[in-house]
Structure formats: C-alpha cells, structure tokens
Amino acid sequence: MLADWMGPPPQAPLERAMDRFAAGDDAALGEVYDLAAPAVYSFLKGLCRDPQRAEDLTQETFLRIHRARGLFRPGSPVLPWAYTIARRLFLDDVRARRAERVVAASGGAPGTAGADGSAPAGEAARALETAAAGPSAEELFADQELSRALDEALAQLPEAQASAFRLLKGEGLSVAEVAGIMGTTRGAVKLRAHRAYLTLRGLLRGRFGAGDGSLPAAPAVGQAIGQKGAEAK
C-alpha cells in the first residue's frame, strides 16, 4: 500500500531506455547500446581475451536484445539480461570452435591478437607516454603488468569460476543477480568466486612473489584481489 502511495521506484537511464525500446521506440536502441555496450564488451573481452571475437559477440548480443524486445518485461534490470545473453553466446561460440578444432584435427594458428601477451614493450611505451598525466611510469607499468597477469590468470580458471568472479567483482553485480545470470544458486556463486579468488591468489603470488624487482610485490597482488575475494567468502 505504501509502495502504491509512493509510486513506482525511480528507474536508471538504461532501464528507461530499454522500456522505450521494448514499447516500440526504435530510436532508443542507440541509447540502450551507449549505456550497456561498454559493460557487455568489457565482460566479453575478459572472457574471450580476443577483441575481434568480443566485438562480434557484443554485436550478436545487441541483435538478440533487438529481436527479443517484445519479450522484455518492463522495469526489469537490463544489464543482467545482457550478461546472460553474452555469456550464453560465448559458451556457444566456445563449443562451436571446439567442434571445429575436432573436425580440423591438424589445429589452427595458435594465439590471437592480444592473447599471447607478447607486446610488453608496446604497453610499457604507452605507459610512459601517459605517465606525465598522473602516476609514475613504474606505477603505471606495474598496474598494467598486474592487470594483464590477472587477465591471464583468469583465463586459466574454469569458465564458471571466471564468470562468477568477473560479474561479482569486475562488474559489481549482486550475488543474486549473478546467480540469475549463471542459472545457479547464490551459494554456488559464492563458492565459485571464492575458489576463483584462491586460485588467482596462488597463481599471482607464484608469479610476482618470486622476488623479481621489476614486478609488483605479493602484497600488491593480494591488495588487488584480496578485498574482493574476502567479500565473496
């Protein structure tokens, strides 16, 4: 009764845009894209580690949203829906590629652009270029190195653990939302994220804790993921 008196809760711009798009306003798709695409692309790029594939899957995600606009329930949160579609497309893509690899048993070209981590010099140069604007070159380089190492470590995790960790810690969704996206229970999401955290901590400590002075020390690694992992327990 109080809710009726107060009226409907205020909606976020993305939900408002999606409501208009679902109601038949074609022009609202651009707004939906502008508000949701960065998060979707970032999530997919993290899963694929291949910008071209991430672009293709982002495009397909928005086409699915376009096709299913008449099925959208007004007022529903849009990003969890977009993540669900994106993750399902990614899993289908992985299966299709695996099937292709089985068919072409000789195997394709290893590695893809940006996935082999073979361009540290370029990243270092970029870090140096932007150093004047803020932190020191060493800090920027260490941040980039840590970020890349974290991405590489995430790529070694099972997809379910990596997705749970990314959605929960990277995209900032709630446990309930991630459970809805992944089609599992809240407890399973917490467990996956916690396992991901433990594995990531081990992998990154193994890499940075060896005493190489040019790389971030173990405490920095722990700081990078520690708080996030602790929340997942």
Partner 1 sequence: MKPVERPPSDLRARVLAAASRAPSTRPGTWSRRVLGVGAFALVWTMAAVALVRGRSDWGELPASSVALTFAVLLAVAGVALGAGLTRGRAMAGPPLERLAIVVAVGLTALLALVLAVDPGGPSTKQLSGAALWWHSVPCAALETGVGLPLVAAVLVPFAGLSLARPGLTGACVGLAAATLAHAVVRFHCGLGGSDHALLGHLLPGVPLMLLGAWFSRARVVERLLERIGRSSEERP
| Intra-chain end-to-end CA distance of the chain, in Å | 37
Residue type, 48: C
User: Interface mask (CB under 8 A) for partner 1, residues 130-159, using x and -?
Assistant: -----------------x--xx--------
Of 49, 53, 69, 201, the one binding partner 1 by CB under 8 A: 69
- 220: burial class by Cβ within 10 Å (0-12, 13-18, 19+)? middle
User: Interface mask (CB under 8 A) for partner 1, residues 5-44, using x and -?
Assistant: -----------------xxx-x--xx--xx--xxx-xx--
Residue 71 near partner 1 by CB under 8 A: yes
Q: How many CB atoms are closer than 10 A to CB 193? A: 26
**Binding-site residue total for partner 1 (CB under 8 A)?**
54
Identity of the residue, 39 or 215, whose beta carbon is nearer to partner 1 in the bound complex = 39
DSSP-derived letter for residue 134 is S
Q: Report the alpha-carbon distance of residue 48 to residue 55 in Å, rounded.
A: 10
Of 28, 35, 46, 145, the one binding partner 1 by CB under 8 A: 46
Rounded to the nearest whole angstrom, what is the least distance from the CB of residue 107 to partner 1 in the complex? 28
User: What stretches of 73-217 adopt beta strand conformation (E)?
Assistant: none
Of 45, 53, 192, 194, the one binding partner 1 by CB under 8 A: 45
Instruction: Give the residue among 228, 143, 160, 156 at the shortest CA–CA distance from 199.
Output: 156
Of 28, 48, 49, 62, the one binding partner 1 by CB under 8 A: 62
Cα-only R_g, the chain: 20
Residue 70 near partner 1 by CB under 8 A: yes
Q: Report the alpha-carbon distance of residue 142 to residue 134 in Å, rounded.
A: 14
User: Interface mask (CB under 8 A) for partner 1, residues 172-191, using x and -?
Assistant: -----x-xxxxxxx------
Identity of the residue, 18 or 215, whose beta carbon is nearer to partner 1 in the bound complex = 18
Q: Report the alpha-carbon distance of residue 48 to residue 42 in Å, rounded.
A: 10
* Residue owning tokens 């193994």: 206
> Can you count the helices (H) and strands (E) in the chain?
11, 0
Question: Would you tell me which residues interact with partner 1 (CB under 8 A)?
Answer: 22-24, 26, 29-30, 33-34, 37-39, 41-42, 45-46, 51, 54-55, 58-59, 62-64, 66-73, 76-77, 80-81, 84-85, 88-89, 147, 150-151, 166, 169-170, 177, 179-185, 228
